[in-house]
Structure 1
């Protein structure tokens, strides 16, 4: 039984808390203790639950249910050996108590023995009339094993027991999606909705399946039905907005996103999408206003900073764009997208040292795209650092071992450094990989390109 503030049933709870304050021990029957403990566990008040269990077992030392609560606390605190020992004692006394099997499975799951946990839970199924929760637990164990077909089967069994078990519905759809079974998910949801036509969660999930298949009109209809079923369903309005954007119906998308702001606290996602819609509608002042609101709402949302940066970049206002990407980097200096944008903007402003720093940082953070290596190396060349450029391109060649663009650059650099043998080696590599990129020598290394030795090697091809 759950206690509520305005309910007479909370009298045992009030009495218990009064007892804790006065240290005057009062008597409670075991069921009252169970309700008190359940209340504290639901509220996340573990220390109070532990006190109630201790006092409860002092007054009712043979209560199996109170001992099961003690086991639950042991498991929560990762005291698995203590939990197992107490559970084995209970099993000797009540070998047909399904709760004992459920807790045993919980311990096995904590130890990553998921197959054994499933075996124990299937035994519990034989002992109980309340199968729904156990189906759900079995489904979760199969998820831990990445056995999505089996997991899906048991979540479906949950739904057969209770059509309003939305946790099972979400988990089942997750299995469909992981298995790329979007058509099967759609068939299931349509069958489900024939029996439950006003289930907003099912309509919402159906819309997401159609969206994944790029069937935008069907997705839109599904989200509309979700909203008809519950006109306060914020998630459905957000998804509807996404579909309307895909259909280039930006004014309608704005309306959907704006409704979410009236129904609930503003989310950074909704603010960002509103800004995007205004930008598409060429309402620049409103666009930047909402982008700014986005980063104020959630400074860690990189998409907000990127939207502002790209907005000013598109307008050719590189200095302002750089100002915002610098603010973003100050908040999150490990975001590789920020550093790439920082590098590109500095390059456009001809701030080569800062541009090189940005590309170097992007590489350090794991951005190994070919363009990053190439542009950074070319900048080092312009900065008069040929040795650093060589090292950059040698690193790049480890990721792109037969790339002509890298080989021609290495050839030009080595010839510039008068390391003729290495230059010739890389030039021959470049010519064998792709002759058409030979223009790189003429463009980046005009003095090298004019050498007779180079002309002869190029003619030989």
Structure 2
């Protein structure tokens, strides 16, 4: 295939797939099954890249590579999309949409610093690009740079006061600041511009949930699910709403639907497992936590959760194995060390329990519960002087926290030791 035929063939396939010039975050999702046209485009892409040195000066090439990158971005193949954006921008660095889409790709993979760099390049070309300003603000928000994010959102709204995504950004900003009622105002304003703007509905539902306005949250999420009934996180949030109201069976219904769609998200499996645990269906809880582990074997919380439920199933040995794995994955996790210490304590492996409580306290010295159990173990091991000093420190920390019951208990134990 000569150059003309190749470029025309790729262009025709891209026209069939019709990737937008600017990809919206909510339109990004993995493709389960490749269509014949998509597979053919992949073959043409390989041929294009093999001959790139010979044809890269053709003015059509940067645009074609950008459109290929857009296809990958829309399919949530972020790494490949970024590679192609870098390639096309190396050929023509004045493509504002390519800079914006690459910034979005970095934002989607939680690389806000790289996103900021890309969006800065877009704004260097087009200072009034409201979408670049919004994505820049979202990147800054992820970094906790709230003032900078607010400034850029204000700039975007100045350029386009009716831009729903900018108004959504203001809602997310105020939610991050803890000003939930203000967030509601901005989100409702976004929805007044576009009543079916799915991400604004999702955000508003979550804010209402945080405000414990469950009826409003339910109404908003119901509308979101009418728009997209297969949105796993909308279903999960509906589950959260019911769980918050102790309607566990309804919560489980929504979590089941969520994991059937997004089965590779360990957090969704954990939510399902937690409901089973609350219902005292411990084996089903363990099964869900195991699915979370299968989804991501390096997800520490999944190992801890399954270890905890194994204790409820009276399987201390397996519980210990799960927590050993969790600590191997994250050796500086104070909570995991504490949990394992409790298992050793129950098994009367006192020195090992003490070592874990010491490790937990060394990581998080502000948590007096680690000292509480350390003191208990020191008493059991007949190391009374150390136990006394530990109870004294724990007592002062519990006083600072205002935990009167624990203060009284520490005082009583100190008197008993003498």
The match for 1:267 is: 299
Aligned pair partner of 1:185 in 200, 217, 224: 217
Partner Cα distance (2:114, 2:358) in 1: 49
Partner Cα distance (1:287, 1:47) in 2: 43
The answer on 1:114 being equivalent to 2:145 is no
Cα deviation 1:273-302 (Å, max 9, x = unaligned)? 222222122233333233323322332333
Instruction: Name the CA shift for 1:156/1:323 in 2 (closer, same or farther; >3 Å).
Output: same
The match for 1:76 is: 116
Aligned pair partner of 1:236 in 241, 258, 268: 268
The match for 1:407 is: none
The answer on 1:216 being equivalent to 2:256 is no
Partner Cα distance (2:217, 2:279) in 1: 24
Instruction: Name the CA shift for 1:144/1:7 in 2 (closer, same or farther; >3 Å).
Output: farther
Cα contact 2:65–2:85 (8 A) shared by 1: no
The two structures, once aligned, show a CA RMSD in angstroms of 5.0
The match for 2:130 is: 101
What secondary structure, in the 3-state scheme, does the structure 1 residue paired with 2:57 have? Answer: coil
Aligned pair partner of 1:150 in 163, 176, 185: 185
Deviation, structure 1 residue 326: 3.8
Moved more, 357-366 or 297-306: 357-366
The match for 1:56 is: 92
Instruction: Name the CA shift for 1:49/1:256 in 2 (closer, same or farther; >3 Å).
Output: closer
Matches of residues 33-48 of structure 1 in structure 2 within 5 Å? 43=79
The structure showing larger relative contact order (alpha-carbon pairs under 8 Å, at least 6 residues apart) is: 2
The match for 1:399 is: none
Moved more, 112-121 or 303-312: 112-121
Q: Which is greater in Rg?
A: 1
Cα contact 1:346–1:352 (8 A) shared by 2: yes
Matches of residues 186-335 of structure 1 in structure 2 within 5 Å? 186-194=218-226, 196-229=228-261, 234-265=266-297, 267-328=299-360, 332=363, 334=365
Cα contact 1:102–1:121 (8 A) shared by 2: no
Instruction: Name the CA shift for 1:311/1:159 in 2 (closer, same or farther; >3 Å).
Output: farther
Deviation, structure 1 residue 362: 5.9
Partner Cα distance (1:356, 1:160) in 2: 63
The match for 2:208 is: 176
Instruction: Name the CA shift for 1:234/1:116 in 2 (closer, same or farther; >3 Å).
Output: closer
Instruction: Name the CA shift for 1:232/1:444 in 2 (closer, same or farther; >3 Å).
Output: closer
Deviation, structure 1 residue 206: 0.9
- Provide TM-score, normalisation by structure 2: 0.63
What secondary structure, in the 3-state scheme, does the structure 2 residue paired with 1:294 have? Answer: helix
Instruction: Name the CA shift for 1:339/1:444 in 2 (closer, same or farther; >3 Å).
Output: closer
Deviation, structure 1 residue 143: 4.3
Cα contact 2:116–2:136 (8 A) shared by 1: no
The answer on 1:26 being equivalent to 2:26 is no
Cα contact 1:101–1:123 (8 A) shared by 2: yes
Aligned pair partner of 1:355 in 381, 384, 387: 387
Partner Cα distance (1:136, 1:114) in 2: 12
Cα contact 1:260–1:266 (8 A) shared by 2: no
What secondary structure, in the 3-state scheme, does the structure 2 residue paired with 1:368 have? Answer: helix
Partner Cα distance (1:223, 1:251) in 2: 17
What secondary structure, in the 3-state scheme, does the structure 1 residue paired with 2:42 have? Answer: coil
Partner Cα distance (1:302, 1:171) in 2: 32
- Provide TM-score, normalisation by structure 1: 0.58
Deviation, structure 1 residue 207: 1.0
Instruction: Name the CA shift for 1:150/1:118 in 2 (closer, same or farther; >3 Å).
Output: farther
Cα contact 1:210–1:216 (8 A) shared by 2: yes
Q: Number of aligned pairs?
A: 356
Structure 2 residues without counterparts, runs of 5 or longer: 1-13, 20-37, 105-112, 141-146
Instruction: Name the CA shift for 1:179/1:159 in 2 (closer, same or farther; >3 Å).
Output: farther
Deviation, structure 1 residue 108: 8.0
Deviation, structure 1 residue 312: 3.0
Cα contact 2:376–2:387 (8 A) shared by 1: yes
Matches of residues 350-389 of structure 1 in structure 2 within 5 Å? 350-356=382-388, 358=390, 368-369=400-401
Cα contact 2:172–2:183 (8 A) shared by 1: no
The match for 1:346 is: 378
Deviation, structure 1 residue 149: 0.8
Cα contact 1:56–1:66 (8 A) shared by 2: no
What secondary structure, in the 3-state scheme, does the structure 2 residue paired with 1:6 have? Answer: helix
What secondary structure, in the 3-state scheme, does the structure 2 residue paired with 1:350 have? Answer: coil
